[in-house]
Structure 1
């Protein structure tokens, strides 16, 4: 599962509403082809991180488009931002890395 949201309980109880809403938000975030490509580029990068400029160049997209999609991924907790000097590095949230790898592999 993409999120750390628990699935149905072992006693057959349905997914709680709050868990279902969180999972649906995550699924919406990764249901976009561009966002899947962004995650893939970061995952496949040499050091597991990238800047918006690197993502823009890799996917041949405009900077505002990449920034829009990155914002959604950051808001959902799939990506983290790490300012370093004049750059902001984007990387996969460590607690969600395995789930993202499973999704993209």
Structure 2
């Protein structure tokens, strides 16, 4: 299943998933996405966490629910290699150093900025 598309967070905001990011040092996989509000910042979150559930006072809910696909490839207008990407869990900043296709997803190899 391709991860790229439009997602709604369980709190209501919308996000566009660009692809999968792989930390070249740790080999950990993340979901690379951008918020679709305010400044449209780029973020990444561990893949299992992004695609998993979150416990709320009303029980478990899907953290990000896929609601559709993008009608426009945002990377045609952005240079992904010059974007500063935040990690939503660690406060580390990353840069993309390589990208390629795997099945139906775009894979981005990322490295922590020093």
TM-score range, shorter chain: under 0.3
Question: Per residue, is there more strand in 1 or in 2?
Answer: 2
| Structure with more of its chain in helix, by fraction | 1
Q: TM-score, normalised by structure 1?
A: 0.28
**Larger-Rg structure:** 1
